[in-house]
A and B are shown apart, each in its own frame.
Chain A
Amino acid sequence: GAGVSQSPSNKVTEKGKDVELRCDPISGHTALYWYRQSLGQGLEFLIYFQGNSAPDKSGLPSDRFSAERTGGSVSTLTIQRTQQEDSAVYLCASSSPDSLNSPLHFGNGTRLTVT
């Protein structure tokens, strides 16, 4: 079946512009995560949505970052007034409601370059 889909796959933007990154999780998956990965580094947690609960925003690095999940499905990560240090690959993952520790299924990410 279809996996996690992210768009765009690549995004180049000028410093100071806003960007929106989209994630389509696997159908029926109630948990959705956003991570950020800088070149050669591990994954940095950003935000976690679980069903209708309030999202865990503890990983968002600044108030320029926000995310929403409409209808419990598609999620959008928005970065306002982008800075060069925001350049990274942004990864989305979803997981099944079968158990709270079901594995994460990742998309291939959006590579963001801020010039």
Chain B
Amino acid sequence: LAKTTQPISMDSYEGQEVNITCSHNNIATNDYITWYQQFPSQGPRFIIQGYKTKVTNEVASLFIPADRKSSTLSLPRVSLSDTAVYYCLVGFRDNYGQNFVFGPGTRLSVLP
């Protein structure tokens, strides 16, 4: 299974850009990189997914270097409501099983 490493926690202030980097040295050819956000007492929520280069949507950007051994989730101009746990997943699934695991995630605290 593809293993990921992320910082356990990060602090930021409102209005700043936050970058959370995930290391995945043993990423395989078929693996995608997916990020989820989780608030207390809720299930995780999909943020963004990518395979290579850069992906951007209305809430975040995902930067993936050419070797794909790491990825960076970028949250522009965070607000207090972005305080949550962010999970990086690497892997894929097929009809026979799934090979990704959720790690402990990064606990982001946005301060006023």
* Interfacial residues, chain A to chain B (CB-CB below 8 A): 4, 31, 33, 35, 41-45, 48, 50-51, 53, 56, 58, 91, 93, 100-101, 103-109
Contacts and interface: CB of A to CB of B under 8 A. Distances in A.
B90 to A, nearest CB: 11
A41 B104 contact: yes
Contact of B93 (A91, A100, A106, A107): A100
Contacts of A108: 41-43
B95 A50 contact: yes
Given A43-B102, A103-B49, A51 B95 contact: yes
Contacts of A106: 42-45
Contact of A101 (B44, B49, B95, B101): B49
A104 B38 CA distance: 13
B46 interface: yes
B34 interface: yes
Nearest to B41: A108
Interface of B: 32, 34, 36, 41-46, 49, 87, 92-98, 101-105
Residue from B43, B49, B96, B103 having most chain A Cβ neighbours under 10 A: B43
Given A53-B95, A103-B49, A108-B43, 10 more contacts: A43-B87, A50-B93, A56-B98, A91-B43, A100-B93, A100-B95, A101-B93, A104-B36, A105-B46, A109-B42
B87 A42 contact: yes
Contacts of A48: 93, 97-98
Contacts of B45: 106
A104 B32 CA distance: 13
A35 B46 contact: no
B37 to A, nearest CB: 11
Given A100-B92, A103-B49, A42 B102 contact: yes
A42 B85 CA distance: 9
B92 A101 contact: yes
A107 B96 CA distance: 23
A93 B45 CA distance: 10
